[in-house]
Amino acid sequence: MQLDKMKQFTMFLVLVLAVANFSFAPAEPSVKDKEVTKLLKEISKKYKAYKSLKADFSVLSEPADAKAAKKTEKGSLTTKGGNFKLVFGGQDIYCNGKYIWTYTKETNECIKDNYNANSGSGVNPSKIFTIWEKGFLYTSDGSYMKGKSEISKVKLTPTDKTKPYFLMNLEVDKTAKTIQSLKVSFKAGNKQTYTITSQTPNAAVSDKDFVFDASKYPGVEVIDLTTKK
State yes or no: pLDDT of 225 exceeds 50: yes
Counting the structural domains of the chain, the total is: 1
Predicted structure pTM score: 0.80
Looking at residue 137, what is its pLDDT? 81
Say how far apart CA 170 and CA 63 lie, in whole Å. Answer: 20
Say how far apart CA 31 and CA 71 lie, in whole Å. Answer: 39
**Rg of the chain, C-alpha, whole Å:** 18
Strand-pair partners of 176: none
What single-letter DSSP state applies at residue 70? P
- Using an 8 Å Cβ cutoff, are 49 and 178 in contact? no
pLDDT digit string, tens, across residues 110-142 = 999 998 776 544 455 556 666 777 778 888 899
Higher-pLDDT residue of 9, 84: 84
Task: Give the closest residue to 22 by CA, choosing from 2, 1, 45, 51.
Answer: 45
Q: Position 152: which residue type?
A: S
SS3 content of the chain, % helix, strand, coil (to 5): 20, 45, 35
Looking at residue 128, what is its pLDDT? 63
Please, what is the average pLDDT of the chain? 81
Q: How far from 208 is each of 6, 83, 95, 211, CA to CA, in Å?
A: 20, 10, 10, 5
Looking at residue 160, what is its pLDDT? 84
Range of the domain at 142: 4-228
Say how far apart CA 104 and CA 201 lie, in whole Å. Answer: 28
What single-letter DSSP state applies at residue 69? P
Range 213-223 average pLDDT: 95
State yes or no: pLDDT of 26 exceeds 80: no
Say how far apart CA 53 and CA 20 lie, in whole Å. Answer: 18
State yes or no: pLDDT of 1 exceeds 50: no
The CATH number of whichever domain residue 156 belongs to comes to: 2.50.20.10
Higher-pLDDT residue of 115, 29: 115
Residue 42 CA to chain centroid, in angstroms?
18
